């Protein structure tokens, strides 16, 4: 019974997407599928943290952005002039930075508690900061001076972009480790604020540190794991096949490329989903849920709650990082200015809650469904508004304003959906077993 219902729900979403293909175009349907796959992976990551362990992470955007950063750092070609000009200084600055942090830690440990410790630690920290800036600033200036119109950054490793996906996960996991170490012992609201803040900081760093990935100047033309449309259109074999199937070559090439991405993304989703399912039903998963439901009891049973929380926080964030790298690969460009918390953090939360927190299939369903709505609310609203306003004069100010504002209806709709689900079906569409 329950299985039929769940399959039915997935079938409905699939039907909606197929309907998009038939009414609008197969191109937009595949776009929805691709971003739906990525959203489903992000939702899996958040579900791991919230659904399994009850951790309230509202810094998803930051981990997603780190994954995006990884694509640039892995796949773009190294800028050797920049490395020659400032590479040494950059590494030196990094070493100085680490030394300062270590020195501060030692000062705190060695000095007796009280005023002396506070003054000593502050002095080391402030002095160290100026030292770090003295090494760091000239190196950055040297790097950013190299061919600023095209580069002005250190470039990447020149490796295949598919490698960036796991590395994006590792980068996000590293950030999650630092945050988790500091904030996981705190109450859930505090963790929320802390993650919200760290996400903003990650975006700020990516926007302003031009030497890293060109900041708001963006990196465009990233490598691709699949064929390029232009190459396909020039290959006689492909054009022949396309005409045989009754497509014109341009449409066919764009569909082919999108479909190749879909296959790649589906592979990643399936692997992650299988792993998440296996872990959910393993002793480890049961322990996690036991901790979530009653921390005190779990601790009394000898479980190290903070340690387990840290573990799952890192895993979930890594999954978000992988998804972020995949998204940037799909876009073919890294644009730090486009990361918005409403879209990359809170929308993912809507997906998890609507889909059903604690259930991996629920998260996947939520990812697809909410992404579909996010895309389609706008044309749908446009259509409704046109009908509503059809009685008004052609140039009435209210009519124009209403038509104009449709673009913002999606935020309203997402909030409404979230509130309705929380009220009438708080466990989501596919509840936890």
Using CB atoms within 10 Å of the CB of residue 332, give its burial: 0 to 12 exposed, 13 to 18 middle, 19+ buried: middle
| Helices (H), ranges, 76-187 | 80-82, 88-110, 115-145, 164-183
Beta carbons of 127 and 95 less than 8 angstroms apart: no
Inter-helix orientation angle 305-331/283-293, to 10°: 110
Closest CA to 26 of 234, 239, 257: 257
Indicate the residue among 268 and 418 with the shorter CB distance to another protein: 418
Q: For residues 5 and 408, which CB has a smaller minimum distance to another protein in the complex?
A: 408
Full 3-state SS string of 187-216: CHHHHHHHHHHHHHHHHHHHHHCHHHHCHH
Instruction: Give the residue with the Cβ less far from another protein, 54 or 366.
Output: 54
Question: Tokens 């160290």 label which residue?
Answer: 128
User: Shortest distance, CB of residue 295 to another protein, whole angstroms?
Assistant: 13
Question: Which chain residues interact with another protein by CB under 8 A?
Answer: 54, 56, 129, 182-183, 186-190, 192-194, 196-198, 200-201, 204, 207-208, 341-342, 346, 349-350, 353, 404-405, 408-416, 418-419, 422-423, 426
Q: Do you know the residue count of the chain?
A: 433
- Give min distance, CB of 350 to another protein, in A: 8
Of the pair 76, 195, the CB lying nearest another protein is at 195
Task: Compute the least distance from the CB of residue 93 to another protein, in Å.
Answer: 15
Indicate the residue among 18 and 134 with the shorter CB distance to another protein. 134
CB of residue 182 to another protein, shortest distance in Å = 6
Say how far residue 176 (Cα) sits from the centre of its chain.
Answer: 13
Q: Could you give the 3-state DSSP secondary structure of residue 134? A: helix
* Smallest distance from another protein to CB 380, Å: 15
Q: How far is the CB of 54 from another protein (least distance, A)?
A: 8
- DSSP assignment of 329-393, as one string? HHHTSB-GGG--HIIIIIHHHHHHHHH-TT-HHHHHHHHHHHHHHHHHHHHHHHHHHHHHGGGS-
Cβ-based nearer residue to another protein, 19 or 419: 419
Measured from the CB atom, the residue of 204 and 271 that comes closer to another protein is 204
- The distance of closest approach from Cβ of residue 302 to another protein in the complex, given in angstroms and rounded to an integer, is 25
């Amino acid at each position: 019974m329950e299985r039929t219902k769940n399959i039915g729900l997935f079938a409905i979403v699939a039907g909606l997407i197929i309907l998009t293909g038939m009414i609008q175009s197969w191109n937009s349907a595949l776009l929805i599928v691709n971003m739906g796959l990525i959203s489903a992976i992000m939702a899996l990551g958040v579900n791991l943290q919230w659904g399994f362990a009850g951790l309230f992470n509202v810094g998803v955007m930051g981990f997603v952005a780190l994954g995006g950063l990884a694509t640039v750092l892995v796949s773009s070609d190294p800028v050797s002039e920049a490395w020659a000009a400032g590479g040494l200084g950059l590494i030196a600055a990094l070493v100085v930075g680490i030394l300062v942090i270590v020195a501060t830690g030692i000062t705190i440990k060695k000095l007796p508690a009280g005023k002396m410790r506070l003054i000593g630690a502050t002095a080391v920290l402030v002095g160290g900061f100026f030292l770090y800036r003295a090494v760091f600033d000239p190196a950055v200036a040297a790097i950013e001076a190299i061919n600023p119109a095209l580069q002005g950054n250190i470039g990447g490793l020149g490796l295949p972009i598919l490698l960036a996906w796991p590395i994006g996960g590792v980068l996000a996991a590293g950030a999650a480790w630092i945050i988790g170490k500091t904030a996981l012992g705190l109450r859930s609201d505090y963790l929320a604020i802390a993650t919200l803040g760290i996400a903003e900081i990650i975006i700020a760093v990516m926007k302003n540190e031009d030497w890293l990935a060109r900041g708001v100047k963006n990196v465009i033309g990233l490598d691709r794991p699949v064929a390029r449309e232009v190459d396909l259109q020039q290959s006689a074999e492909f054009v022949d096949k396309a005409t045989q199937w009754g497509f014109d070559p341009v449409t066919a090439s764009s569909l082919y490329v999108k479909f190749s991405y879909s296959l790649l993304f589906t592979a990643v989703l399936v692997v992650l989903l299988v792993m998440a399912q296996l872990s959910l039903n393993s002793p480890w998963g049961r322990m996690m849920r036991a901790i979530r439901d009653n921390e005190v009891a779990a601790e009394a049973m000898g479980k190290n709650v903070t340690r387990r929380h840290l573990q799952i926080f890192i895993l979930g964030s890594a999954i978000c990082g992988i998804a972020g790298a995949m998204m940037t690969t799909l876009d073919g460009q890294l644009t730090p200015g486009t990361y918005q918390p409403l879209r990359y953090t809170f929308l993912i939360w809507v997906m998890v809650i609507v889909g059903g927190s604690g259930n991996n299939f629920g998260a996947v369903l939520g990812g697809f469904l909410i992404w579909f709505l996010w895309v389609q609310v706008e044309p749908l609203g446009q259509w409704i508004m046109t009908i509503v306003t059809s009685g008004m004069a052609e140039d009435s100010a209210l009519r124009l304003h209403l038509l104009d504002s449709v673009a913002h209806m999606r935020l309203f709709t997402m909030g409404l959906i979230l509130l309705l689900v929380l009220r009438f079906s708080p466990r989501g569409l596919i509840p936890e077993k």
